[in-house]
Chain A
């Protein structure tokens, strides 16, 4: 039997999501971004909302997110994604609007825009990719860097007396009356990937139902920034990040 005899529509069990473009991802091997992109594309495809979705990309590793998910995108200044998303959603209320941001973008320079968009209850979805580091600029400390974590700007480990405490911004968002759904997920194994996809779907549905802001934190690995192998990074994430940033729903109303 030739391989051509096997490649038939009836034998297909899995394929590239059509909402993903043909471009090769620029992310490092082992990075979580690619998986999260794929999940977003799949949800958009399954909900058939490609023409109704407008996304906002941040400054950081995912600045080029628009190259990979085949929808209309706006690229924001560092930290301002939630303000852009507010403008889009207020003026185009029939669109699905999401931001895709890292922890440096969302929880340092963009704290005000994020908290106030959540507090106004903008009917948007906020995706926070938390790898506890600034990836693109070369592995500096972010507000979500753990105590003791070595980064290029905390070469002897993050010290509380010098740098303050890691910011649990997702817990903070869950306290706000404007958020309807706040959850912390991950994508390091198949079960986690399925749970994250379910969370994304739910968040998009919340937007349609005008329930308020949905925030999904995806605790992610940055093996390049952490200077670990992809497998080693996943283990470090499970051993160190998950105890401090426990997975699960923080709010679901």
Chain B
């Protein structure tokens, strides 16, 4: 039987990183995610797997350390929380532009500015619409349990390398701090130098040998025609992501007249809200996007015919609701309910909000 441990969401990220063959973690302390680096330092993976863990001088430095490692074909990751992620956005843009894989976890806190240290989902736009400059996308995964915090580290690396694109785990202070049982998956060894050359030898800076041309990892393309061609290549990559990598979960949707759409910790609240509403005879289901980019647009569209209305529940001022409205394109009403500033909505509040759109 697989080993199960009780751990915090942030600890799960750290343990998963070591066990899935991550080569390097570069981070900077910020609440509510500091346990990620603290756990790694406590575990000393450089003595077991050889994984490097380094505390950087800033989030700007840590994302650029990732650039350096990723360009060598290494599995590199960092974690931070909202203000720190804002600083990393420059690096996201450069890494997307240089087609570099990496994994970043954003344990979101309330904003804007220094905001609060309580859980929030107010960084949705930043995660799925860019944050940095230029036409690029991050692959965005939204765990709603400590088990998924663990599992999405490996999944994030898998997708990041498959598409040579930065991947982001968009989570929040609740999931980062809460403790749940986690089933540990089988360990994966770190790639050897030979494996890196075999897997990524066509692009990574592994040292120019006589038998191959120089590799220059760059996002620079001064000629407009060259850059446009590259932009189109990225668009094709994102199209592939939308075709192949959409992930979502549906709960009680088969006979639903109404649909709640929520991700992350809000979806946990909404699971209970669906149960309460169904006890009162309201036929409501829950659709939980697991990938926020690519967004489950088609899954929502496929349900529109059976639905009377949709409500998104978000711990933000209403961000994901815009993507749902785009998907639905005016066919049925799409409303939003949320709490802000680090306040978590209760299931009862969600039921009241749901009843408000029914009447």
Contacts and interface: CB of A to CB of B under 8 A. Distances in A.
B98 interface: yes
B64 A73 contact: no
A80 B64 contact: yes
Contacts of A66: 214, 216, 218
Nearest to B206: A72
B68 A87 contact: yes
Nearest to B62: A83
B207 A52 contact: yes
Contacts of B209: 51
Given A72-B208, A80-B91, A116-B57, 11 more contacts: A21-B214, A51-B208, A66-B218, A70-B214, A74-B205, A75-B219, A77-B91, A87-B26, A87-B68, A92-B74, A112-B57
Interface string A15-56: 000000100000000000000000000000000001111101
Contacts of B56: 83, 86, 116
B94 A83 contact: no
B284 interface: no
Contacts of B76: 87, 91
B57 A88 contact: no
Interface string B74-87: 10100000000000
A87 B98 contact: no
Interface of B: 23-24, 26, 52, 54, 56-58, 60-62, 64-72, 74, 76, 90-91, 94, 98, 205-210, 214-220
Given A72-B214, A75-B219, A91-B74, A86 B207 contact: no
B207 A77 contact: no
B208 A76 contact: no
B69 A87 contact: yes
B68 A85 contact: yes
Most chain A CB neighbours (cut-off 10 Å) among B67, B76, B209? B67
A87 B76 CA distance: 9
A84 B214 contact: no
18 contacts: A53-B207, A56-B68, A67-B216, A70-B214, A71-B207, A72-B205, A72-B206, A74-B216, A75-B220, A77-B91, A80-B67, A84-B65, A85-B68, A87-B70, A88-B71, A91-B23, A91-B76, A112-B61
A104 B64 CA distance: 18
A65 B210 CA distance: 20
A71 B214 contact: yes
Given A91-B24, A95-B207, A73 B216 contact: yes
B173 to A, nearest CB: 27
A57 B219 CA distance: 12
B23 A77 contact: no
Interface string A98-117: 00000000000000110010
B72 A113 contact: no
A63 interface: yes
B83 to A, nearest CB: 16
Contact of B67 (A84, A90, A92, A112): A84
A52 B193 CA distance: 13
Nearest to A95: B207
B69 A88 contact: yes
Contacts of B66: 87
Contacts of B71: 74, 84, 88
A80 B88 CA distance: 12
A54 B214 CA distance: 10
A10 B58 CA distance: 56
Nearest to B75: A91
A237 B69 CA distance: 38
B220 A87 contact: no
Nearest to A78: B90
B94 A88 contact: no
B64 A74 contact: no
Contact of B64 (A54, A83, A89): A83
